[in-house]
Amino acid sequence: MEIEREDSETKGRYVARSTDGAEAELTFSRAGEELIIIDHTEVPDAMAGRGLGLKLVERAVADARSSGVRIIPLCPYAAAQFRRHAEWSDVLDG
């Protein structure tokens, strides 16, 4: 399933859409040019069991690496994934 990134000036999100229109998303806020705050991750029941939450966080980490951005994971799910993935420490802020 493809993950798309949508950006505005102060916020953004990563979204995966199923063929029936359901959306799994990770939302973030910008805290300057080199810092984002992951504030919410949600996967609807209809899309559960596919590892989409993790895939959304992995995409945010990959994009942060490629653009030199650091991440503050305020979302409990994203924070838990950062604790499980020490290899992401290069983009973790704090």
- Edge to edge, the sheet with strand 70-73 lists 3-7, 11-17, 23-30, 35-42, 70-73
What is this structure's pTM?
0.95
Mean pLDDT of 9-20: 95
> Rounded distance, CA 40 to CA 74, Å?
8
Q: What is the pLDDT of residues 38-75, one digit of tens each?
A: 999 999 999 999 999 999 999 999 999 999 999 999 99
pLDDT at 94 over 80: no
pLDDT at 1 over 90: no
Q: What is the pLDDT of residues 21-38, one digit of tens each?
A: 999 999 999 999 999 999
Residue 16 structure tokens: 């995966």
